[in-house]
Amino acid sequence: MTGDTGKRQLPPIPHPDHLRKQAKARLAAMREKMPSARLADAQVTLAREYGFASWAALQAEVAQRVQSPQGQWRHVRRAHLAAFRPGWWRQDQPTEEDVEAVAAFFRAAVILQMGFVLALAGGLALVLWVMQLNGLLPAMSIHLNL
């Protein structure tokens, strides 16, 4: 099963907690009709609605989507103002997901900045080279005065 044949469609980047909450809600609904229903029954029913053979297969697909570049990007996009989110100072300990999101943002920031500096240096070198080829560069001395 691939998830395409189910009655419901998974969002592009599903949240594992959201699915777990859905399973618990489904269990509550099932227990009203059948008091002996277990969480595993609710999970299998939900997984089949999404077109998966089992709850484990659904979770594996969710984990794969979260680890995909799109999933990582969503992480980064959510994290960039993590420290300035309303009420962040009231939480004494951030959730594990928050810590991971911040780490993903830091990694992205380091890579982007290094790329930016390399592009700037390369661009300046290219401009100077083209200017020299066209005889536009006068003889000069540069005092590096940062």
User: Among residue numbers 89 through 108, which ones bind another protein (CB under 8 A)?
Assistant: 89, 91-95, 99, 102-103, 106-107
Query: Other CB atoms closer than 10 Å to residue 13's CB: what's the count?
Result: 15
CB of 134 to another protein, least distance (A): 12
Listed residue (58, 52, 54, 63) closest to 6, CA to CA: 52
Spacing of C-alpha 32 from chain mean position: 37
| 69 versus 84: smaller Cβ distance to another protein | 84
**Strand, helix or coil for residue 84:** helix
Count how many residues are written for the chain. 146
Token digits of residue 71: 């999933």
Q: How far apart are CA 73 and CA 70, in angstroms?
A: 5
CB of 20 to another protein, least distance (A): 19
From the list 12-20, 38-46, 49-57, 81-89, the region that binds another protein by CB under 8 A is 81-89
Q: Does 143 bind another protein (CB under 8 A)?
A: yes
Binding site for another protein (CB under 8 A): 82-84, 88-89, 91-95, 99, 102-103, 106-107, 109-110, 113-114, 116-117, 120-121, 124-125, 127-129, 131-132, 136-146
